[in-house]
């Protein structure tokens, strides 16, 4: 009898198993292995979620692609097959709303089911486990008591079918070695080559274990070919359709956000817990900025850049339902009672009883949609109709008539001068690309020029994020090398420039130009990805405007005076090159507790009610079913914090966290990410970094325009050269050559710039 190996997290990609293939379910109970054969169709998720049960717990290893619920309904389904199972005591974990009939002390004193899934063909059945002794409030069976395993045929759903991919044993062994080294030593402490190897192994495990499909596009499928013919497949579409060769709607406007944790862990918190502790209390006591804590290794462009990118990747709509009502204390100065916050628009799961899913209001592709728009009306209005170029006014911005086509969404209302600078910069870059393409290829039409320039511009933005921005904010030598390897491969940029791409391997030669790799999951970004990108403490309280001639202070603006209503006023009174220089000389804030900007806790925006953005940040993560901090770490195979003192190395913060949360299991994800110690050189936490390891690569490897179609036949030779030869530094200097002295000797354009004075300019000219 073959022995199953414990330690695999459950998987969930699309299955290719035969509808009649047998499966072997192996229950491990203190050295006893009991095989149970089943036949049927493909497996389904259980609608139950959570992770505690009091009256029966067994360590279960499925030699299959099964998906097991960890909090299990008691006594619901007839016709069970009894097998032996062992009970194993575990520390109690707060329960999540599962809709099960388990009640009583199970939420505070229970056992945890350890469940894993092997990737072998499993036919489709709904599997569940329960105690044969009834409800959790009754007497607990002794260790070694019986479990009930049930097989119930069900109709498969694309949102819940498990993986078709299988990791070869040799590769899996290497991944396990990488995980073991990371747990024992920690990748930041390793020599760079070994650290890189460990990160490659961690990424492979994350790809296989932490990507979950939430279902097809709510609008239904599209034809295999677009209405305009297959020639349209050579360009990005406005709504993001027809990027994926297998699913034309993948990543498009309206698609569901995916998940990085099993779907049973993604139900919204139950109404009794979702406001506990009160998110307004968390905002006031743990987030409010006492004093500005600067991130002195970065400049303010780094803060503007990540908002610029997030507006490309993710956006949610508000629901037209009753808003959340956040109760306020008597001494709270908020003008309205209660504080109301719109709910997130959701669509029902395609699986009956499954967790709600959330559609995106923008495309999920790295397609610069924050510039080009996600609607044909806006995209067409932004174009001149000549030479592929975009329309800009005297300030370098879209004309006011075009801006008026944008709905006053939360994203648009959150615009500020920093975002405007980057929009203007890359609109100018688009037009420069068009000029180069028109010169090289006079036969290209306006449509060809526009589409090709968009491809080139969005690829250049992705490159800048990968090799400039990310190494600036995670400036550990290993991660700097890792991000460059994502783009150039471990062979490096010099080898690629001299010899071209020598291999199809993304590890050796980088992701751009490699094979498409979606890990068997339709492309989307995830709710967990959104949660870890909540980085509002980067925003400072004010901006000092400095002269590019001598670094003297020209003005100082509080941040509210840089908001959407004041963008044109600021750009009219200060030249764009001086604003860029001022941003390069200013620091953003650090991502830590007690550093959330007060003006964002009292945010006024045109067309929107008063908002405490910190309260919203906390509530959104809970509402969308992203696990709290400790459970999030468990799902990434990281050790949870046993105490508040273990979570943070700041004793004062540990006491404050205990006062607010009481139990370390209740700590919100964002709070834990801000509180935990950071690796050397890091601007954010190692926990968040684990998700970046996965999703930073997936944004590239899952997009055919960065993989199979990243080639001259699509981009043109001139377009490929433009991406290859440019960085953030060259883009800035192309459009604002006066910035050269400030960037002289600066290793990364997102690091602090040099102070410019007459002596600096003289030294620059004398070289």
DSSP string, 451-483: HHHHHHHHHHHHHHIIIIIHHHHB--HHHHHHH
CA distance 364 to 672: 27
- Give me the phi and psi of 81, to 5 degrees please: -110, 120
Digit-coded pLDDT (tens) for 392-411: 999 999 988 887 766 555 56
Task: Give me the catalytic one of 242, 533, 596, 629.
Answer: 533
Digit-coded pLDDT (tens) for 657-682: 999 999 999 999 999 999 999 999 99
Both 112 and 189 in one domain: the answer is no
> Please, where are the H alpha helices in 383-505?
400-403, 410-413, 417-440, 446-464, 470-473, 477-488, 492-499
Number of domains present in the structure of the chain: 3
From 64-68, 168-172, 573-577, 664-668, the region with the lowest mean pLDDT: 64-68
Digit-coded pLDDT (tens) for 277-315: 999 999 999 999 999 999 999 999 999 999 999 999 999
Res. 138 pLDDT band, cuts 50 70 90: very low
Whether 553 is covered by a domain: the verdict is no
Query: Quick one: pLDDT at residue 83?
Result: 28
Both 151 and 114 in one domain: the answer is yes
Run of H or E including 313: helix 300-313
Both 203 and 93 in one domain: the answer is no
Q: Are 418 and 307 in contact (CB under 8 A)?
A: yes
Q: pLDDT at residue 16 above 90? A: no
Both 148 and 188 in one domain: the answer is no
Phi-psi region of 165 (alpha: psi -120 to 50; beta: other; left: phi over 0): beta
Both 173 and 150 in one domain: the answer is no
Whether 264 is covered by a domain: the verdict is no
Which is nearest to 231 in space by CA: 434, 4, 43, 447? 447
Whether 334 is covered by a domain: the verdict is no
Could you tell me the end-to-end alpha-carbon distance of the chain, in angstroms, rounded to an integer? 76
Both 1 and 73 in one domain: the answer is yes
Both 21 and 83 in one domain: the answer is yes
Whether 405 is covered by a domain: the verdict is no
Query: Quick one: pLDDT at residue 55?
Result: 26
How far lies 699's CA from each of 309, 352, 463, 742, in Å? 12, 30, 12, 32
Boundary of a domain, candidates 179, 209, 239? 209
Mean pLDDT value across residues 218-231: 82
Both 157 and 189 in one domain: the answer is no
Query: Quick one: pLDDT at residue 224?
Result: 82
Both 31 and 143 in one domain: the answer is yes
Query: Quick one: pLDDT at residue 373?
Result: 92
Q: pLDDT at residue 505 above 80? A: yes
Q: How many helices (H) and strands (E) does the chain have?
A: 28, 13
From 61-70, 305-314, 459-468, the region with the lowest mean pLDDT: 61-70
Give the SS3 label for residue 618.
helix
- pTM of the full structure: 0.80
Q: pLDDT at residue 38 above 90? A: no
Mean pLDDT value across residues 47-64: 29
Which is nearest to 81 in space by CA: 129, 12, 134, 39? 129
Cβ contacts of 165 within 8 Å, gap of 6 or more: 13, 119, 208, 519, 520
533 an active-site residue?
yes
The domain in which residue 747 lies consists of 728-766
Q: What percent of the chain has pLDDT over 90?
A: 69
Both 136 and 7 in one domain: the answer is yes
Angle at CA of residue 109, ends 134 and 620, nearest 5°: 100
From 129-143, 512-526, 534-548, 659-673, the region with the lowest mean pLDDT: 129-143
From 157-161, 329-333, 757-761, the region with the lowest mean pLDDT: 157-161
Boundary of a domain, candidates 131, 166, 201? 166
Query: Quick one: pLDDT at residue 272?
Result: 82
Whether 249 is covered by a domain: the verdict is no
> For all residues of the chain together, what is the average pLDDT?
80
CA distance 208 to 116: 13
Boundary of a domain, candidates 132, 166, 200? 166
Whether 1 is covered by a domain: the verdict is yes
Whether 746 is covered by a domain: the verdict is yes
Both 155 and 203 in one domain: the answer is no
Query: Quick one: pLDDT at residue 765?
Result: 53
Digit-coded pLDDT (tens) for 315-324: 999 999 999 9
Mean pLDDT value across residues 478-495: 96
Task: State how far Cα 386 lies from the chain centre.
Answer: 37
Mean pLDDT value across residues 468-493: 97
Query: Quick one: pLDDT at residue 286?
Result: 99
Integer-rounded Cα Rg, in Å, for the chain is 27
CA distance 749 to 728: 7
Query: Quick one: pLDDT at residue 227?
Result: 76
Q: pLDDT at residue 543 above 80? A: yes
Res. 202 pLDDT band, cuts 50 70 90: very high
Both 162 and 205 in one domain: the answer is no
Whether 307 is covered by a domain: the verdict is no
């Amino acid at each position: 009898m073959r022995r199953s190996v414990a330690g695999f997290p459950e998987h969930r990609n699309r299955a290719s198993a035969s509808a009649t293939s047998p499966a072997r379910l192996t229950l491990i109970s203190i050295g006893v292995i009991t095989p149970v054969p089943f036949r049927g169709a493909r497996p389904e998720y259980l609608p139950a979620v959570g992770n505690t049960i009091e009256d029966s717990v067994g360590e279960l290893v499925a030699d299959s692609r099964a998906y097991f619920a960890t909090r299990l309904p008691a006594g619901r389904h007839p016709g069970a097959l009894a097998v032996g199972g062992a009970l194993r005591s575990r520390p109690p974990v707060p329960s999540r709303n599962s809709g099960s009939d388990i009640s009583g002390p199970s939420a505070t004193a229970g056992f945890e089911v350890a469940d894993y899934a092997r990737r072998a063909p499993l036919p489709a059945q709904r599997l569940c486990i329960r105690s044969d002794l009834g409800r959790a409030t009754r007497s607990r069976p002794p260790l070694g008591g019986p479990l009930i395993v049930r097989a119930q045929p069900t109709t498969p759903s694309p949102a819940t079918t498990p993986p078709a991919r299988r990791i070869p044993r040799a590769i899996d062994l290497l991944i396990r070695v990488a995980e073991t080294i990371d747990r024992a030593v920690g990748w930041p402490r390793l020599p760079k080559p070994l650290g890189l190897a460990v990160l490659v192994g961690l990424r492979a495990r994350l790809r296989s274990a932490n990507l979950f499909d939430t279902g097809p596009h709510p609008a239904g499928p599209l034809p295999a070919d677009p209405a305009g013919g297959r020639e349209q497949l050579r360009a990005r579409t406005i709504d993001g359709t027809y990027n994926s060769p297998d699913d034309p709607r993948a990543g498009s406007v309206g698609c569901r956000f995916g998940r990085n944790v099993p779907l049973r862990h993604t139900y919204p918190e139950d109404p009794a817990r979702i406001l506990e502790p009160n998110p307004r209390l968390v905002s006031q006591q743990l987030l409010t900025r006492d004093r500005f804590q600067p991130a002195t290794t970065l400049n303010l462009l780094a803060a503007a850049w990540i908002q610029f990118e997030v507006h490309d990747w993710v956006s949610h709509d508000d629901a037209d339902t009753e808003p959340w009502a956040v109760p306020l204390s008597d001494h709270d100065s908020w003008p309205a009672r209660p504080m109301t916050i719109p709910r997130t628009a959701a669509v029902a799961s395609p699986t009956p009883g499954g967790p709600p899913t959330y559609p995106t209001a923008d495309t999920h592709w790295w397609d610069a949609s924050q510039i080009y728009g996600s609607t044909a009306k806006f995209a067409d209005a932004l174009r001149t109709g000549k030479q592929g170029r975009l329309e800009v006014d005297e300030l370098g911005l879209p004309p006011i008539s075009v801006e008026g086509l944008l709905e006053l969404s939360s994203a648009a209302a959150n615009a500020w001068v920093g975002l405007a600078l980057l929009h203007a910069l890359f609109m100018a870059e688009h037009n420069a690309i068009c000029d180069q393409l028109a010169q090289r290829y006079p036969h290209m039409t306006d449509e060809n020029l526009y589409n090709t320039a968009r491809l080139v511009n969005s690829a250049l933005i992705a490159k800048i994020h990968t090799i400039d921005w990310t190494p600036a904010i995670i400036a550990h030598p290993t991660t700097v090398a890792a991000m460059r390897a994502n783009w150039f491969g471990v062979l490096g940029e010099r080898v690629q420039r001299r010899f071209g791409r020598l291999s199809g391997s993304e590890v050796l030669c980088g992701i751009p130009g490699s094979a498409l790799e979606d890990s068997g999951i339709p492309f989307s970004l995830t709710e967990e990805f959104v949660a870890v990108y909540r980085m509002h403490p980067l925003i400072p309280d004010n901006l000092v405007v400095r002269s590019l001639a001598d670094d003297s202070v020209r003005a100082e603006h509080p941040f509210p005076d840089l908001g959407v209503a004041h963008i044109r006023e600021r750009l009219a009174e200060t030249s764009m090159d001086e604003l860029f220089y001022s941003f390069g000389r200013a620091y953003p804030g650090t991502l830590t507790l007690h550093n959330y900007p007060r003006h964002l806790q009292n945010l006024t925006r045109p067309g929107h009610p008063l908002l405490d953005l910190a309260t919203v940040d906390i509530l959104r993560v809970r509402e969308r079913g992203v696990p709290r901090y400790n459970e999030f770490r468990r799902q990434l195979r990281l050790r949870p914090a046993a105490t508040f003192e273990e979570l943070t190395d700041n004793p004062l913060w540990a006491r404050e966290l205990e006062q607010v949360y009481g139990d370390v299991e209740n700590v919100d994800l964002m709070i834990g990410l801000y509180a935990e110690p950071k690796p050397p050189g890091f601007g954010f936490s190692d926990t968040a970094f684990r998700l970046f390891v996965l999703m930073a690569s997936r944004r590239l490897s899952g997009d055919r325009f960065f993989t199979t179609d990243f080639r001259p036949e699509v981009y043109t030779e001139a377009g490929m050269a433009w991406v290859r030869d440019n960085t953030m530094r060259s883009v800035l200097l192309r459009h604002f050559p006066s910035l050269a002295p400030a960037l002289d000797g600066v290793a990364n354009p997102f690091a602090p710039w040099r102070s410019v004075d007459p002596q600096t300019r003289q030294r620059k000219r004398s070289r």
